[in-house]
């Protein structure tokens, strides 16, 4: 699976909503807004899973049908709504630092203090 997209680096966020936690299997989502729907799948195919977000909006979550990687989330009937590309899938992700954190009310408490957790360069054993 491969894609091309045009994103807005100013609209790059960490999302602590419960959907991002459950659907990613981790603590939060790292997303960037796709500009004017400029997303083009260049190889492979995507599957769509429909969910209701904490905002109450219908969200279509797309993922690679082959490996299960989440690619984007959008609200098709609201083109102006956040069209969130999962930044972990972007080759240039080093350039996309989050500018804000949203849905902090459902965040894991420790997520705000990662520096307090001991760090290693690699995982032991
Ligand atoms: Zn979220």
Report the distance separating Cα 70 and Cα 86, nearest Å.
7
Return the sign of the alpha-carbon dihedral for residues 21, 82, 70, 31: negative
Report the distance separating Cα 77 and Cα 54, nearest Å.
17
Average pLDDT over residues 94-104: 97
Ligand 1 centroid to residue 19 C-alpha, Å:
6
pTM: 0.90
Q: Which residue has the higher pLDDT, 96 or 23?
A: 96
The class level of CATH for 2-112 reads mainly beta
Q: Please, what is the average pLDDT of the chain? A: 93
Tell me the domain boundaries of the chain: 2-112
Q: How confident is the model at residue 85 (pLDDT cuts 50, 70, 90)?
A: very high
Query: What is the per-residue pLDDT for 124?
Result: 84
Report the distance separating Cα 96 and Cα 31, nearest Å.
9
Q: Which residue has the higher pLDDT, 11 or 80?
A: 11
Ligand 1 centroid to residue 51 C-alpha, Å:
11
Residues with CB under 5 A from ligand 1 (ion): 15, 17, 20, 29
- What percent of the residues of the chain are helix, what percent strand, and what percent coil, each to the nearest 5? 20, 45, 40
Ligand 1 centroid to residue 49 C-alpha, Å:
14
Ligand 1 centroid to residue 18 C-alpha, Å:
7
């Amino acid at each position: 699976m491969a894609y091309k997209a045009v994103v807005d680096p100013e609209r790059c966020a960490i999302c602590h909503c419960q959907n991002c936690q459950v659907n990613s299997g981790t603590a939060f989502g790292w997303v960037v807004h796709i500009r004017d729907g400029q997303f083009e799948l260049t190889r492979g195919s995507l599957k769509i899973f429909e969910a209701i977000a904490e905002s109450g909006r219908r969200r279509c979550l797309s993922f690679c049908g082959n490996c299960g990687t989440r690619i984007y989330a959008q609200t098709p009937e609201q083109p102006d709504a956040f069209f969130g590309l999962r930044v972990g899938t972007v080759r240039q992700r080093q350039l996309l630092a989050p500018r804000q954190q949203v849905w902090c009310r459902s965040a894991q408490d420790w997520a705000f203090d990662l520096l307090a957790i001991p760090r290693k360069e690699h995982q032991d054993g």
